[in-house]
Amino acid sequence: MAEARRIPGEPGIWVLIGGDMLAFSLFFMVFAYYRGQQPALFAQSHATLNGAIGLANTIILLTSSLFVALGVRRVRAGRPSGVALFRAALMCGALFIALKAIEYAEKIAHGITPLTNDFYMYYFAFTGIHLTHVLIGSAGLVYMAAVAAQRPPSAARTMIVECGALFWHLVDLLWIMLFALFYLVDSHG
């Protein structure tokens, strides 16, 4: 008999994800409103962002989500190789953080801060909140690797890994939206 399908994780993580998605949706709407009010300023500021770093960070987080998905699959199958995949995702998270720090340092070195204009206020605030999510998710990946290393696998440990994976996928999804909002969408387009 086939195993009954179930939604991964536990209900609390879905409440957290829903709340985060709602908050970021509101952030995006506020940004879009002010971009419509100041299109020239937003277009000029948009042009100063480092698109190569933005794209690299997008690829890095997509890769990390692949590692996490494969890691969860291995944990569910009772295979210890999930540990290495969670560690690989953690390395991606560390690389994302390093590139974001480089990008912030570039801006600050050119005298650009959250006080420069509305675009940069939103850029630093929203990407900073996202960066906090990456840090929290990275701590979760460390814990997920430790849980995945425990033998024998259990339903409770699998649930922990699934919840951590769901949060990490949220981090990835939010970055994709931020990447589109800040790096791809031109205010004149």
* Domain presence at residue 168: yes
* Domain presence at residue 128: yes
* Better pLDDT: 79 or 116: 116
Does residue 4 have a pLDDT over 70? Answer: no
Q: How many CB atoms lie within 10 A of CB 119?
A: 23
Residue pLDDT, tens place only, 160-176: 999 999 999 999 999 99
Give me the CATH number covering residue 24. Answer: 1.20.120.80
Q: How far is CA 131 from CA 64, 124, 178, in A?
A: 15, 10, 11
Q: Which of 81, 89, 69, 91 is nearest to 161 (CA)?
A: 69
* Domain presence at residue 71: yes
* Domain presence at residue 189: no
**Entry pTM:** 0.92
Instruction: Please state the domain count of the chain.
Output: 1
State both tokens at 10. Answer: 């536990």
* Domain presence at residue 2: no
Domain extent at residue 101: 12-184
Query: What band does 1 get if pLDDT is binned at 50, 70 and 90?
Result: low
* Domain presence at residue 55: yes
* Domain presence at residue 27: yes
Residue pLDDT, tens place only, 26-80: 999 999 999 999 999 999 999 999 999 999 999 999 999 999 999 999 999 988 8
